[in-house]
């Protein structure tokens, strides 16, 4: 799939299983138009938009609106992720079947931002999804183990006084959901895996033949909790940045296939929600326009992934996990192609203000990165050149 020539490399269009585009409801942070432009600029041809919007995407009405708006913008395929429970309140299952039957043909469901934490609700959600041939993407965080206000854990966090989201809250949900998926004959996908323990649980579950997949974000592949020393709210994220040793384990797990995919968890926030005291700032970071160079830096340059591996983890596997037939695979002759041309040597400095996203909460501000999408092509049409969408 990866063909090298003249220094540039051709990959299938990148597929992002996890973005927050904030429309409807928070268009001051991002819109489907601005988020699509950011995605195209970053080399993506398909993204999955999480349902924690306002209103929540828990009906076919909202899902189909997101899908149609994505088509109108036309820069990237925007696949709405439907909510698992009504209003993401975790109590009553949403009508996943009706969302699946709508124009958007929703096949991925999640309460991301929240965990489907009640075990009975999760069991029934998996059974329902299994019947639909759909996937539940779980934000693995047991709220009964998490201290509400903050989002950090570990020696650095403890010294800084940031009580928060312990490893147990993530790892116990992954173990539980693996077993529930096994018995429901369902597929489950784990969002933004962040700890070494989660990797052990995933490895065990896969060895049992359980249909579980997982993603890791670029920021968890690069950053650790030493960034929190200055209480800079830009580094506040769910799940929190972990320790250096976790970062090493996550990289190895992605190289070995225990973690299947890279997903950005692109989480734009308006300045008045993000640039405030650490405890009050919203969690989340921009990701779409920096994902590719971060993966090159953390995985490709150290030799953990070759180009084939980059294509597999950023395009083929996410397309397979979400059941997309027309993404993440080699191009047939004469076919309107989804692809990206990558210049791995192009050097640039990240400036939040210069990114395409409306929000500017990048954790890589001022960082010198190598690598950029020099052209993104969606069904034969150029959607971005040199890091800028073709509007």
Catalytic entry in 224, 265, 273, 360: 265
For residue 120, what are the contacts with CB-CB under 8 A and spacing of at least 6? none
Q: Scan residues 174-213 and list those touching ligand NCD (CB under 6 A).
A: none
Beta bridge partners of residue 79, listed in sequence order: 48
Which of 11, 14, 19, 20 contacts ligand NCD by CB under 6 A?
20
Tell me the chain's radius of gyration from C-alpha atoms: 19
352-367 b/e (C-beta count within 10 Å ≥ 16 → b) = beebbbbbbbbbbbeb
Contact set for ligand NCD, span 317-376 (CB under 6 A)? none
Within its chain, how far is the Cα of 31 from the centroid? 17
52's contact among Zn ion, ligand NCD, none, with CB below 5 to 8 A by partner kind, is: ligand NCD
Q: Is there a contact between 293 and 344 (Cβ–Cβ < 8 Å)?
A: no
Binding mask of the shown chain, residues 125 to 144, with x at each position contacting Zn ion by CB under 5 A = --------------x-----
Binding string, residues 128-157; x marks residues near ligand NCD by CB under 6 A: -----------x------------------
Nearest approach in angstroms of CB 50 to ligand NCD is: 7
236 contacts: CB under 8 Å, gap ≥ 6: 151, 152, 278, 281, 282, 283, 284
Nearest one of 150, 143, 94, 82 to 118, comparing CA atoms:
143
158 contacts: CB under 8 Å, gap ≥ 6: none
Interaction of residue 238 with ligand NCD, rule CB under 6 A? yes
Q: How large is the greatest C-alpha to C-alpha distance in the chain, in angstroms?
A: 59
Among Zn ion, ligand NCD, none, partner that 327 touches (CB below 5 to 8 angstroms by kind)? none
265 is an active site residue = yes
Measured between alpha carbons, how far is 263 from 150 in angstroms, rounded to an integer? 23
**Residue 188 near residue 149, CB atoms below 8 Å:** no
C-beta closer to ligand NCD: residue 239 or 344: 239
Considering beta carbons, is residue 224 or 265 the nearer one to ligand NCD? Answer: 265
Is-contact 289 42, C-beta < 8 A? yes
Instruction: Establish if 112 lies at the interface with Zn ion (CB under 5 A).
Output: yes
**Under rule CB under 5 A, residue 246 binds Zn ion:** no
State the Cα–Cα distance between residues 134 and 275, nearest whole angstrom: 38
Stretch that binds Zn ion, among 259-267, 287-295, 350-358, 366-374 (CB under 5 A): 259-267
Q: Which does 116 bind (CB under 5 to 8 A by kind): ligand NCD, Zn ion, none?
A: none
Binding of residue 269 to Zn ion (CB under 5 A): no
CA–CA distance, 133 with 145 (Å, rounded to integer): 31
Instruction: Please tell me whether residue 265 binds Zn ion under the rule CB under 5 A.
Output: yes
* Residue bearing tokens 């189909």: 64
- For position 221 contacting ligand NCD by CB under 6 A, the verdict is no
Shortest separation between residue 236's beta carbon and ligand NCD, angstroms: 7
Q: Please select the residue that binds ligand NCD; options are 112, 243, 260, 343, rule is CB under 6 A.
A: 112
Q: Of 33-41, 67-75, 165-173, 278-286, which segment contacts ligand NCD by CB under 6 A?
A: 278-286
Contact footprint for Zn ion (CB under 5 A): 112, 139, 265
Contact footprint for ligand NCD (CB under 6 A): 20, 52, 112-113, 139, 237-238, 265, 267, 282-284
Residues labelled as active-site residues: 265
């Amino acid at each position: 799939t990866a063909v090298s020539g003249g220094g540039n490399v051709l990959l299938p269009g990148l597929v992002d299983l996890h973005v927050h585009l904030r429309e409807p409801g928070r268009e001051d942070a991002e819109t489907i138009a601005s988020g699509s432009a950011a995605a195209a600029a970053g080399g993506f041809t398909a993204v999955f938009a999480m349902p924690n919007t306002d209103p929540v995407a828990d009906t076919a009405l909202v899902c189909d609106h997101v899908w149609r708006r994505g088509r109108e913008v036309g820069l990237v395929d925007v696949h709405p992720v439907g909510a698992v429970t009504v209003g993401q309140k975790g109590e009553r299952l949403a009508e996943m079947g009706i969302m699946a039957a709508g124009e958007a043909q929703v096949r991925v469901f999640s309460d991301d931002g929240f965990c489907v934490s009640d075990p009975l609700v999760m069991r029934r959600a998996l059974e329902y999804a299994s019947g639909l041939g759909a996937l539940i993407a779980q934000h693995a965080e047991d709220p009964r183990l998490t201290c509400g206000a903050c989002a950090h854990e570990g020696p650095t966090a403890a010294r800084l006084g940031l009580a928060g989201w312990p490893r147990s809250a993530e790892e116990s949900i992954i173990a539980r959901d693996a077993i529930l998926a096994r018995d429901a004959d369902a597929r489950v996908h784990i969002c933004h895996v962040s700890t070494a323990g989660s990797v052990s649980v995933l490895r065990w579950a896969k060895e049992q033949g359980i249909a579980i997949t997982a993603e890791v974000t670029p920021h968890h592949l690069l950053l650790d909790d030493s960034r929190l020393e200055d209480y800079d709210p830009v580094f506040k994220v769910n799940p929190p940045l972990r320790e250096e040793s976790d970062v090493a384990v996550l990289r190895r797990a992605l190289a070995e296939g225990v973690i299947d995919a890279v997903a950005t968890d692109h989480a734009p926030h308006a300045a008045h929600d993000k640039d405030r005291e650490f405890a009050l700032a919203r969690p989340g970071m921009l990701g779409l326009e920096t994902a590719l160079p971060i993966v090159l830096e953390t995985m490709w340059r150290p030799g953990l992934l070759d180009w084939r591996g980059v294509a597999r983890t950023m395009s083929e596997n996410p397309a397979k996990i979400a059941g997309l037939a027309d993404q993440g695979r080699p191009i047939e002759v004469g076919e309107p192609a989804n692809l990206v041309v990558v210049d791995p040597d192009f050097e640039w400095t990240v400036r939040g203000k210069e990114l395409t996203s409306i929000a500017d909460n990048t954790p890589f501000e001022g960082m010198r990165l190598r690598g950029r999408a020099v052209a993104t092509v969606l069904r034969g049409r150029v959607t971005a050149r040199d890091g800028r969408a073709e509007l």
